[in-house]
Amino acid sequence: MKKIETCLSPQLLHLYEIKGKNVLIVDIFRATTSMIAALANNVISITPFKNLEECEAMKPHGYVIAGEREGKKVANFDLGNSPLSYLNNAFSNKKIAITTTNGTLAIEMVKENANNIIIGAFINLNATIKYLKSQKEDLLILCAGWKGKFNLEDSLYAGAVAYLLKNAYTTECDGTLALKSLYEANKNNMAGFLANASHTKRLQNQNIEADIDFCLTFDIYELIGLFKNGVIQGQIL
Amino acid sequence: MKKIETCLSPQLLHLYEIKGKNVLIVDIFRATTSMIAALANNVISITPFKNLEECEAMKPHGYVIAGEREGKKVANFDLGNSPLSYLNNAFSNKKIAITTTNGTLAIEMVKENANNIIIGAFINLNATIKYLKSQKEDLLILCAGWKGKFNLEDSLYAGAVAYLLKNAYTTECDGTLALKSLYEANKNNMAGFLANASHTKRLQNQNIEADIDFCLTFDIYELIGLFKNGVIQGQIL
């Protein structure tokens, strides 16, 4: 049976084999949630960039540029990292260029060797589960974390995926077993459990409770997000 | 209030400030459990070594040498890494020199900068909790893991410590919050939960279920283990 592993931080990625595996990128607060929200609201594509300069250079080419560092919008960028920016088809038929502290870096790290790269978010969890059930390859869940540290919201998402795939994939990965148990223990009170988390507090200090609530909402959208040939696009199953 | 943080792998240790903190070293299967069992069975001291050669060189100086790599006893060493070797005062009044895959390396990494270094095991958990309650410094729990990867048994121990110290320390560390919840969810069935873990399977393949059972037993001993000036010694509170 196909296998799941979970890498809890990009800084541990060298311990995992990537070649030939599907990789699910998770940065719940807020990069990967923003990407799914954007795709579901009819942006054409999202191009992730590692650094600010490369991202900003896309502006003259007609891209909407989204940039976040330390949880905040970068000056002179059109958008920060709020998924709510994309609602109501606000950027319908636009191309987005995006750079974020953790999430876009995680994509960068696996793009050479992964089989398929999937963008993970609670807002389209069941669509992603359906897709992953259809896949034959082993799965590596890569939690973007916060500056290399373990992060609670990405871990809960990884645990939810492991829990929902338990009959379709097998695992001997301690990280996956732990997060599956963590999700099972907290799935009915995720917001309460996350209220003490470091990243939640950082975001609350910026008055973006609405972003947090949105990022923790299950299954608003039915499309999945796939990174291929340098861009992320939506796919309806 | 004093704070707890948890570092899930030695490979993430550079992300944490060590200076001035107490560090609790955790390698439940089996290095730190063996150390506590040895001290409780009246060995004089335990000197940890990073590499095999340094450890073996202590033999002519009257030390009993214990060496483990890949979960197995090193050829020509007196002992491997089984805590059961030390029971019934088998090495009473002896000095032990020890080297293990993960645990002794973790001690090495913090010895220059930590305040007090404490050796963690379930077999003396409450004694360690009592000691930590008496301390004023912030606490960093360092899980030795398995070759850099997150490890379930060390994580459950870290979670138990966070749970038992919840009124004495505060935390904003996502790793600590996650492991505390993990422990609370599984504390009444730790062996069952661990049965699927990678390291448990590795050890079971070596027919050392008795070691596992011993390592998961709570509060057999009332002394704590402290690393100071290069050696680990027991202290009764």
Q: What is the pLDDT of residues A177-194, one digit of tens each?
A: 999 999 999 999 998 898
Query: How many distinct structural domains can be found in chain A?
Result: 1
3-state helix, strand, coil in chain A (%, to 5): 40, 20, 35
Structural domain contains residue A237:
no
A174–B146: do the CB atoms touch at under 8 Å?
Answer: yes
B12–A12: do the CB atoms touch at under 8 Å?
Answer: yes
How close A4 comes to chain B (CA, Å)? 13
- Please report, for the domain that includes residue B41, its CATH number: 3.90.1560.10
B209: pLDDT strictly greater than 90: no
Cα distance between residue A103 and residue A83, in whole Å: 14
Chain A contacts of B198, Cβ < 8 Å? Answer: 172-174
Look at residue A3 and give its three-state secondary structure: strand
Q: What DSSP assignment string belongs to A158-204?
A: HHHHHHHTTTT-B---HHHHHHHHHHHHHGGGHHHHHTTSHHHHHHH
Would you state the structure tokens that stand for residue A81, as one six-digit string? 């990292």
Structural domain contains residue A235:
no
% of chain A residues with pLDDT over 90: 86
Give, for B143, the enclosing helix (H) or strand (E).
strand B139-143
pLDDT at position B207, please? 65
CB-closest option in B149, B178, B181 to A174: B149
pLDDT at position B208, please? 80
CB-closest option in A147, A182, A201 to B182: A182
B206: pLDDT strictly greater than 90: no
B205: pLDDT strictly greater than 70: no
Cα distance between residue A231 and residue A222, in whole Å: 19
B103: pLDDT strictly greater than 90: no
Residue (of A146, A137, A129, A132) closest to A18 by Cα position: A137
User: Whole-number mean pLDDT of chain A?
Assistant: 95
Chain A contacts of B8, Cβ < 8 Å? Answer: 8, 150
How close A13 comes to chain B (CA, Å)? 10
CB A97 within 8 A of CB A49: yes
Cα distance between residue B120 and residue B197, in whole Å: 20
A199: pLDDT strictly greater than 80: no
A196–B149: do the CB atoms touch at under 8 Å?
Answer: no
Mutate to test the interface with B, among A14, A169, A177, A183 (most CBs of B within 10 A): A177
- Digit-coded pLDDT (tens) for B149-182: 999 999 999 999 999 999 999 998 999 999 999 9
Look at residue A221 and give its three-state secondary structure: coil
List the single range of A74-78, B144-148, B221-225 with lowest mean pLDDT: B144-148
B136: pLDDT strictly greater than 80: yes
Q: Which residue of A has its CA nearest to B155?
A: A178
Structural domain contains residue A123:
yes
Structural domain contains residue A236:
no
Q: Which residue of B has its CA nearest to A147?
A: B15
Residue type for position A10 = P
Between chain A and chain B, the number of residue pairs with CB atoms below 8 A apart is 88
A207: pLDDT strictly greater than 70: no
B107: pLDDT strictly greater than 70: yes
Residue (of B62, B49, B56, B60) closest to B94 by Cα position: B62
Chain B contacts of A141, Cβ < 8 Å? Answer: none
Q: C-alpha distances in angstroms, B85 versus A98, B66, B69, B216, B221?
A: 58, 10, 17, 16, 16
Q: Which residue of B has its CA nearest to A151?
A: B174
Residue (of A13, A154, A19) closest to B9 by Cα position: A13
How close B82 comes to chain A (CA, Å)? 22
Sorting pLDDT into bands at 50, 70 and 90, what band is A95? Answer: very high
Determine the structural domain holding residue A201 and report its residue range.
4-229
B12–A9: do the CB atoms touch at under 8 Å?
Answer: yes
Structural domain contains residue A128:
yes
User: Whole-number mean pLDDT of chain B?
Assistant: 95
B15–A193: do the CB atoms touch at under 8 Å?
Answer: no
A148–B15: do the CB atoms touch at under 8 Å?
Answer: yes
ipTM for this prediction: 0.94
Chain B contacts of A149, Cβ < 8 Å? Answer: 12, 15, 174-175
Mutate to test the interface with A, among B177, B180, B204 (most CBs of A within 10 A): B177
Sorting pLDDT into bands at 50, 70 and 90, what band is B196? Answer: confident
